[in-house]
């Protein structure tokens, strides 16, 4: 993969070389895209996945970096 090098102006200096985007563009392909139910094996795994999602979106008691001082 070839890297894109861009020339940009830096403060206090003239132009410098900056590394551009280093990812390959693309979209997920195939039949299994977005089928989370088939990826989880047991019923307990599916319930755990859904409960953690609900806690993230609807709970008042968040932890760590998720906690906000003022609720949205």
What pLDDT is stored for residue 44 in this prediction? 92
Could you tell me if 40 and 49 are in contact, meaning their C-beta atoms sit under 8 angstroms apart? yes
Query: Whole-model pTM above 0.85?
Result: no
The tokens of 9 are what? 């102006």
Q: Where are the domains of the chain?
A: 34-60
Q: What is the pLDDT of residues 17-56, one digit of tens each?
A: 988 888 877 887 777 777 878 888 899 998 888 888 777 7
Q: How far apart are CA 19 and CA 42, in angstroms?
A: 45
Q: How far apart are CA 30 and CA 39, in angstroms?
A: 14
* Residues paired with 15 in a beta bridge: 9
| Higher pLDDT, residue 19 or 67 | 19
Torsion, Cα of 70, 61, 55, 65 (10° steps): 60
């Amino acid at each position: 993969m070839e890297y894109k090098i861009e020339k940009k102006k830096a403060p206090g200096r003239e132009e410098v070389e900056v590394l551009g985007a280093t990812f390959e563009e693309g979209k997920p392909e195939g039949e299994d895209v977005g089928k989370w139910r088939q990826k989880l094996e047991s019923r307990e795994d599916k319930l755990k996945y859904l409960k953690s999602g609900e806690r993230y979106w609807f709970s008042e008691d968040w932890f760590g970096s998720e906690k906000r001082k003022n609720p949205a």
